[in-house]
Structure 1
């Protein structure tokens, strides 16, 4: 029971965990409102608005900043990890998704590419984020931690 009590009292861990879940869940109504498509699977997928990775790492950094102070080593580490994560989400992962889309199109056209026996299964295309999705995710994470702290830990 002490282990569970310790976890429940770990504000940064709770804030980041709740934030990533909320960011994933909010993707479903956002797509419904903007595209009129109801797809609950979006709550379990990568990519889309907002970036749950960005939300989680900024939530974690914010919570650590609140708890440990903005001059703490833990806050500095969290900010650097958040910056790297957000850069990768809108850079490398987004480009991997674009490449997957092009490969999928190439493999479904009449022009076949030599595959050396490889049987193509469609690659996942929604991997990364547009910069706006990363920014909104980051803001979502900061606000989420502030609200969780104010409601449950203050």
Structure 2
């Protein structure tokens, strides 16, 4: 059996990968519907609605729970990982985005233009974290994908 066949048959892995791309696709479509513009960076970019990180780790944890049971080592590790990723997305990464926004505004002032003009071309990425709603939406995407995998794709 080839490595690609083995990977394709790995329900836990496929649930997580599909959840990531499903969340990114939803993000892309929401951006298009709300602004009317096509932004291909939304297909792979961080931040926004829904959280693809949350979708990925939620599908990973639920997939591990389905495949190995709630008492398994695999479920325990993936559940703890999911909690860490989601907490980080709401806390640290969201604060980083707020700081980036403030620094970008500061760099537009005359002081920065005179002080260090070499910094001006560098614009910090502002959309790096998530709101609790974006994380919750990502969890919903992850759960839905894991359910489809368990009761549809791998039955």
State TM-score, norm by structure 2.
0.91
Any idea what SS the aligned residue of 1:38 has? coil
Aligned residues: 154
Report the alpha carbon displacement of residue 147 of structure 1 after superposing the two structures with TM. Answer: 0.8
Runs of 5+ in structure 2 lacking a partner? none
2:128 aligned residue = 127
Q: Take 1:3 and 1:110, find their aligned partners in 2: how far apart are those partners?
A: 57
Any idea what SS the aligned residue of 1:112 has? helix
Residue pairs, 1:2-151, within 5 angstroms = 2-112=2-112, 119-120=119-120, 121-151=122-152
Any idea what SS the aligned residue of 1:17 has? helix
Report the alpha carbon displacement of residue 116 of structure 1 after superposing the two structures with TM. Answer: 6.5
Report the alpha carbon displacement of residue 115 of structure 1 after superposing the two structures with TM. Answer: 5.9
Report the alpha carbon displacement of residue 37 of structure 1 after superposing the two structures with TM. Answer: 3.7
Moved over 4 A (4+): 113-118
Q: Take 2:93 and 2:87, find their aligned partners in 1: how far apart are those partners?
A: 9
Aligned-pair Cα RMSD in Å: 1.8
Report the alpha carbon displacement of residue 40 of structure 1 after superposing the two structures with TM. Answer: 2.4
Report the alpha carbon displacement of residue 112 of structure 1 after superposing the two structures with TM. Answer: 2.8
Q: Take 1:59 and 1:13, find their aligned partners in 2: how far apart are those partners?
A: 9
Contact 2:12-2:64 at 8 Å conserved across structures: yes
Report the alpha carbon displacement of residue 3 of structure 1 after superposing the two structures with TM. Answer: 1.7
Any idea what SS the aligned residue of 2:119 has? coil
Runs of 5+ in structure 1 lacking a partner? none
Alpha-carbon spacing, 1:109–1:115, altered in 2? closer, same or farther (3 Å): closer
- After superposition, the C-alpha distances for 1:83-116 in whole angstroms (9 at most, x for unaligned) are 0000001110111011011000000012338867
Higher mean alpha-carbon deviation, 45-54 vs 111-120, is at: 111-120
